[in-house]
């Protein structure tokens, strides 16, 4: 069975500071990993995905994530936070063959202070 743990339900950073959102996964087979962003009263938008190609994955809005198999981690980073990054972020895992059926973490709310 697959599972995801997001460490820290709330993260607060200053504008311009590094953003680091942590995600650890469990999967019995090589996983597919995703990060999504959700703004209030909206659905989820895909930021980036890991598909067993490059371990460093670049996504939209300047975000990137690194797959570390030895640590079973897929942490999300952004060098410089913008006010518009304030939202809830979800890490998700799915397994071959159904890449679409995902198990989500409980989310991390990112607050960006001016």
Partner 1 sequence: DTGVSQDPRHKITKRGQNVTFRCDPISEHNRLYWYRQTLGQGPEFLTYFQNEAQLEKSRLLSDRFSAERPKGSFSTLEIQRTEQGDSAMYLCASSLGSEINQPQHFGDGTRLSIL
Contact between 14 and partner 1 per CB under 8 A: no
The interface region with partner 1, picked from 17-25, 59-67, 72-80, 91-99 by CB under 8 A, is: 91-99
Taking the C-alpha atoms of residue 93 and residue 52, their distance in angstroms, rounded to an integer, is 13
Binding range to partner 1, per CB under 8 A, among 18-26, 42-50, 56-64, 74-82? 42-50
Taking residue 96's Cβ as centre, other Cβ atoms within 10 Å add up to 11
Q: Which stretch binds partner 1 (CB under 8 A): 21-29, 45-53, 61-69, 78-86?
A: 45-53
Distance separating alpha carbons of residues 104 and 88, to the nearest angstrom: 13
What is the contact mask toward partner 1 in residues 53 to 72, using x (rule: CB under 8 A)?
A: --------------------
DSSP annotation of 80 reads S
How many residues belong to the site for partner 1 (CB under 8 A)?
26
Among 1, 28, 29, 41, binds partner 1 (CB under 8 A): 41
- Distance between start and end Cα atoms, the chain: 41
SS3 call for 45? strand
Whether 37 contacts 45, CB under 8 Å: yes
Give residues in contact with partner 1 (CB under 8 A): 4, 9, 32, 34, 36, 41-46, 49, 51, 90, 92, 97-107
């Amino acid at each position: 069975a697959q599972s995801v743990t997001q460490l820290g339900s709330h993260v607060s950073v200053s504008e311009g500071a590094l953003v680091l959102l942590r995600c650890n996964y469990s999967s019995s087979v090589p996983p597919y990993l995703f990060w999504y962003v959700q703004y209030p009263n909206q659905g989820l938008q895909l930021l980036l995905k890991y598909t067993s190609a490059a371990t460093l994955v670049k996504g939209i809005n300047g975000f990137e994530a690194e797959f570390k198999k030895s640590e079973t981690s897929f942490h999300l980073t952004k060098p410089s936070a913008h006010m518009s990054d304030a939202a809830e972020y979800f890490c998700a895992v799915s397994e071959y063959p159904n890449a679409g059926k995902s198990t989500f973490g409980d989310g991390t709310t990112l607050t960006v202070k001016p």
